[in-house]
Amino acid sequence: MDQEDKQFLQQVLTSAEDDYTIVITNIEASPCCKDGENYMALVSRVKLTGTRGQNKQESSWSVVTKKQPASLARREMFRCGPVFRNETAVYKTVIPTFQRFFNNKVPFPFPKCLHADHNIRNDLIVLEDLGTAGFSMTNRIQGLDFDHCQLVLRGLASFHAMSLALKVIDLNAFMKARDSTKEVIYIEEARKLFSVSMENSLKMATESLSNKDGTFDVALKTLDRFK
C-alpha cells in the first residue's frame, strides 16, 4: 500500500475510534485469500502500527481492506465496478438501516465497516478484521460442515426476513435501502458474462439431483423450466 493509503487509513482509524491523537507510522499488507479463490476485489489484511495519546503510547491495529482490481480491462470484463458499488451501498446504507430497526432483536453477522463511501475513496472498503476474534476462511475445496451450513443459511434467512419486515414497518426506509443498490446480474449488459455461469450451475444442479426412485422429480422439473 502506498503513502496515500497510509494517510487515508489513519483518517479512517481516528474517525472510527474518535481519537485524533492516533498517528500511523507503518503499515503492512498481506493477501487475505489464497490464489484461485476468485474474489472480484483485492482483499488484504492490513496491520498498522503507530502511537496514540498525549504520551504517544505505542499501539497496533488490524483491518481488512477490499479494493477494486487495478486493471481497468479486468474491472470491465467482470463488471467489478457495479458489484463494488453495490457492496459499498450495502455497508453504507442497507446494513445501517436494518440495524436502526432491528439491532436489539436479531444478531448481525457482519464485520464493523470503518469506511465505505461512493464519493470519498470509492475504490476502497475498510472493515473490522474478524481474524483477530478467531475467525478464518474455510477451505473452499473442502467446504463447510453441517453446523456452519446451518449458520450461513440462518444468517441469509434472517437478512431476507428483515427486508420483508422493513417493507411493512417503514416502506420509505425500505425503498431508500432498496434503491441504493442496482441489479448487476439479470440485465442485458451482463448476459455475456453470467449466462455461461448460470448454464453450468443449472447443469451441475440437475446432475446432482439425478435419481432412480423419483425422489427429486419435482425439483428436476422445476430446474428444467430455467433451461
Which pLDDT score is estimated for 168?
97
Instruction: Determine how β-strand 124-128 pairs with β-strand 113-115.
Output: antiparallel
- Average pLDDT of the residues in 87-97: 96
Q: So where are the chain's domains? A: 3-142, 185-227
DSSP symbol at 35: T
- Give 218 or 18, the one with higher predicted confidence: 18
Pick from 83-97, 110-124, 168-182, 205-219: least confident: 205-219
Q: CA–CA distance from 160 to each of 93, 155, 165 (Å)?
A: 16, 9, 9
Residue 87 CB-half CA count within 13 A: 22
Q: CA–CA distance from 45 to each of 63, 96, 113, 130, 215 (Å)?
A: 6, 24, 14, 10, 46
- Average pLDDT of the residues in 120-135: 93
Pick from 102-111, 153-162, 201-210: least confident: 201-210
Q: What cell does 153 get?
A: 443459511
- Residue 9 pLDDT level (bands cut at 50, 70, 90): very high
Q: CA–CA distance from 82 to each of 31, 42, 185, 208 (Å)?
A: 23, 15, 10, 32
- Average pLDDT of the residues in 188-213: 79
Which pLDDT score is estimated for 77?
75
What would be the CATH architecture of the domain defined by 3-142? Answer: 2-Layer Sandwich (3.30)
* Contacting residues for 127 by C-beta, under 8 A, at least 6 apart: 63, 64, 65, 66, 91, 111, 112, 113, 114
Could you count the other beta carbons within 10 Å of the beta carbon of residue 53? 10
The CA distance from 2 to 109, in Å, is: 31
- Paired with 30 in beta bridges are 45
Pick from 120-124, 163-167, 200-204: least confident: 200-204
- Residue 40 pLDDT level (bands cut at 50, 70, 90): confident
- Give 191 or 211, the one with higher predicted confidence: 191
Q: What cell does 208 get?
A: 446432482
The pTM (predicted TM-score) of the whole model is 0.82
User: Tens digit of pLDDT for each residue in 48-72?
Assistant: 999 999 999 999 999 999 998 877 8
Which pLDDT score is estimated for 6?
87
- Residue 223 pLDDT level (bands cut at 50, 70, 90): confident
Whether residue 44 contacts residue 33, with contact meaning beta carbons closer than 8 Å, is answered with no
- Residue 188 pLDDT level (bands cut at 50, 70, 90): confident
Which pLDDT score is estimated for 35?
64
- Give 167 or 192, the one with higher predicted confidence: 167
H/E stretch holding 83: helix 80-89
The CA distance from 101 to 109, in Å, is: 16
The type of residue at 91 is Y
Which pLDDT score is estimated for 36?
60
At residue 210, does pLDDT exceed 70?
A: no
CA angle 50–21–25, rounded 5-degree value: 20
